[in-house]
Amino acid sequence: MISWFRRTQLAWHVLRREKARVVVALVGISFANMLIFMQLGFKEALFYSCGRPHRSFKGDLALINPDFETLIAPQQIHRELLYRSLALSAVEAVHSIKVGLLPWRNPETGRGRSIQIIAFDPSFPMLNDAEVEAQAYTLTSLGNVIFDRLSRPEFGPIQKGVVTEVNRKHVEVSGLFSLGASFASDGCMLTSESTFARLFPDRGPADIDFGFVFLKPGSDPQAVQAQLQQLVGKAARVVTRQQLETLEENYWANSTGIGFIFAMGAAMGFMVGVVIVYQILHGDVSDHLPQYATLKAMGYGNGFLLLTLAQESLLLAFLGYGPGLLLALFLYDQASAATALPIFMTTERAVGALLGTIAMCTISGTVAARKLISADPAEIF
């Protein structure tokens, strides 16, 4: 195969002769690649951003409501269930988190926008973040919050010392940290459970959204998980940190339809590429059918002609992939800046798209080859 590619440059000369057609093909392939990259980028940004808070939480195991689906629609459990876990010898400590959504008032425009609120005990900051740990003590003052500087700009120009309202209650920004917006929420703030109770007067102090269990060194998380599940029964569900993140991803992938839409968009981009490349290769075969028939009459078999068409397909795939990748990188930067979402290229996605481009062009070449195989020199001449 390699020696054949070195001996003949027929495919390259055919493509080079039809410059206008090749340009159209490369534009089409690049566009299809860009569409695939963007859809997959948005899909991965959805999963990555929505699972980011879960990855930031501390703890080995989590107690959640059995009906839990997503962070933006929490279901509470009673704090007493969390304290039960202290009966296990492998448990070192337990801590809780409360979450919710409330309107944040832009201090400049006065407009409200929903912000995600995460509350915990300031003496033990539950986010694995150096900035949060250094500033958590400021949350001991009622009404103080730590604001996510990566929130969308619609919340206003927020700096330390800014005073505004959340749910018509005065709050003061005592610090900043970095988490980032997501498809679920445009911004986030941290506060204490005392301030949380002031912002959510209808929530009982014994109701928590997440109970996190910290295990002693050397403990087996799976074994403790099974023991703790028996201990709390059906009143709560015990999950690992990875399982908690997977539950969040499953919600956005299956319950909302957003993940399906992005996957369908990528599939449509693939089909667009197949159609475009097929039209180009089919046109090439039709225009050069007498020449291909002459080669068959000279003794070249279908294998030689099919390999030539396969070489054309691969050349189009590699030539069209590069511009599509560069365009996607540019659009990733633009989209990330405009939406504050974590849209970035990964090696796995770049390699997967290249393999998809090769498959796209191979499928097109296979379909276009049917006319080439059926070509009869006697009929054409």
- Packed helices 10-17 and 19-56: angle between N→C axes, nearest 10 degrees: 100
Q: Extract the tokens encoding 126.
A: 């539950």
Phi and psi, residue 170, nearest 5° = -70, 135
Q: Which amino acid, residue 335?
A: A
| Residue 28 pLDDT > 70 | yes
Cβ neighbours of residue 152 closer than 8 Å, sequence gap 6 or more? 113, 181, 186, 187, 339, 340
- More confident site: 282 or 166: 166
Q: In the chain, where are the structural domains located?
A: 2-50+257-380, 66-235
Strand partners, 146: 175, 190
Please name which of 296, 290, 288, 283 lies closest in space to residue 380, comparing C-alpha atoms: 290
CA 67/CA 75 separation, integer angstroms? 7
Confidence tier at 21 by pLDDT (50, 70, 90):
confident
Helices (H), the chain: 2-7, 10-17, 19-56, 79-84, 130-135, 193-199, 221-232, 241-250, 258-287, 289-297, 302-339, 347-373, 377-380
| Residue 93 pLDDT > 90 | yes
HSE-CB at 157 with a 13 A cutoff on CA atoms is: 1
Q: Of 12-16, 109-113, 130-134, 309-313, which range is least confident?
A: 12-16
The predicted pLDDT at position 288 comes to: 66
CA distances from 15 to 260, 314, 316 (A): 37, 12, 9
pLDDT tens by residue, 181-191 = 887 788 999 99
Q: Of 8-22, 254-268, 279-293, which range is least confident?
A: 8-22
| Residue 70 pLDDT > 70 | yes
Q: Of 77-91, 224-238, 253-267, which range is least confident?
A: 253-267
Residue with tokens 């055919």: 14
Q: Strands 91-105 and 210-215, how do they pair?
A: antiparallel
Look at residue 158 and give its three-state secondary structure.
coil
Residue with tokens 């899909």: 43
The predicted pLDDT at position 169 comes to: 93
The predicted pLDDT at position 194 comes to: 94
The predicted pLDDT at position 361 comes to: 80
Strand partners, 94: 213
CA 93/CA 101 separation, integer angstroms? 28
Strand partners, 164: 171
CA 46 to chain centre: 4
**Secondary element (H or E) of residue 101:** strand 91-105
pLDDT tens by residue, 323-361 = 889 999 999 999 888 877 788 898 988 998 888 888 888
Highest mean pLDDT among 31-45, 136-150, 328-342: 136-150
Confidence tier at 7 by pLDDT (50, 70, 90):
very low
CA 109 to chain centre: 32
Considering only CA atoms, give the Rg of the chain. 29
203 in Cβ contact with 74 (< 8 Å): no
Confidence tier at 287 by pLDDT (50, 70, 90):
low
- Four-point Cα dihedral 365, 366, 369, 374, nearest 10: -170
Please name which of 182, 177, 178, 165 lies closest in space to residue 102, comparing C-alpha atoms: 165
